[in-house]
Structure 1
Amino acid sequence: MAEHLLHIEVAYATAQRQWLLACVVPEGASVSDALRLSGLAEQVPGLDLDSSPVGIFGKRVSDPQSRKVEEGDRLEVYRPLLADPKEVRRQRAAKAKALRGA
């Protein structure tokens, strides 16, 4: 009996480049398995898929080793934040207030 295959996409982006890989993985593959099979780690030097946060269509996956992929899923590998978004907004608001008051 032939193994059933699923078609998925794997997405990753840096400031300089984006990757969107169309992949075929076996049914029952976990998110971790699918990322490994995608070959993304070989294309992006220094990318550690085991410690990178991952999501499916923008929703974070808490346990990539147990979550199974489904037909048509888009797996997204996220980069760590360089700055806290709330702090950046606070700084921008303070700067705008200072400019208005001057």
Structure 2
Amino acid sequence: MADELIAVEVAYATPERQTIIAVTLPAGSTAEQAIAASDILQQFPEIDLSQRKVGVFGLICKLDKPLTDGDRIEIYRPLQQNPMDARRGRLQK
């Protein structure tokens, strides 16, 4: 079992670009290990994992969450605008 590998994806998006990086890790690896293995932090130096939330398929999780084969780890950005304020603005137009 120690030789078992899992394939996961690490995703991050800015308004200009979306990046999804596939990585292969040992079974039992965590979300933080997948992010580190993807080198996405070098591509986007503005990501601070102590300030950003992460999730697996849209469900927020902690960095120490064990992953399973096929998971997609998502790094979330802060909202630019409150969704309710944006909706009110569209309705007023």
Give the TM-score taking structure 2 as reference length: 0.87
RMSD value over aligned CA atoms? Answer: 1.6
For 1:73, give the aligned amino acid.
D
- Which stretches in structure 2 are left out of the alignment for 5+ residues? none
Aligned to 1:22: 22
Question: What's the % identity of the aligned pairs?
Answer: 39
Contact (CA 8 Å) 1:6, 1:72: kept in 2 or not? yes
> Which structure is higher in helix share?
1
For 2:29, give the aligned amino acid.
A
Contact (CA 8 Å) 1:41, 1:49: kept in 2 or not? no
User: Larger Rg: 1 or 2?
Assistant: 1
Aligned to 1:92: 90
Aligned to 2:73: 75
The 5 A counterparts of 1:53-68 are 53-61=53-61, 63-65=62-64, 67-68=65-66
**Equivalent-residue separation in structure 2 for 1:69 and 1:86 (angstroms):** 33
**Equivalent-residue separation in structure 2 for 1:42 and 1:4 (angstroms):** 27
Runs (4 or more) in structure 1 with deviation over 6 Å come to none
For 2:63, give the aligned amino acid.
P
Give the aligned length.
Answer: 93
**Equivalent-residue separation in structure 2 for 1:24 and 1:88 (angstroms):** 39
Aligned-residue offset at 1:2: 5.4
**Equivalent-residue separation in structure 1 for 2:47 and 2:59 (angstroms):** 20
Aligned-residue offset at 1:50: 3.1
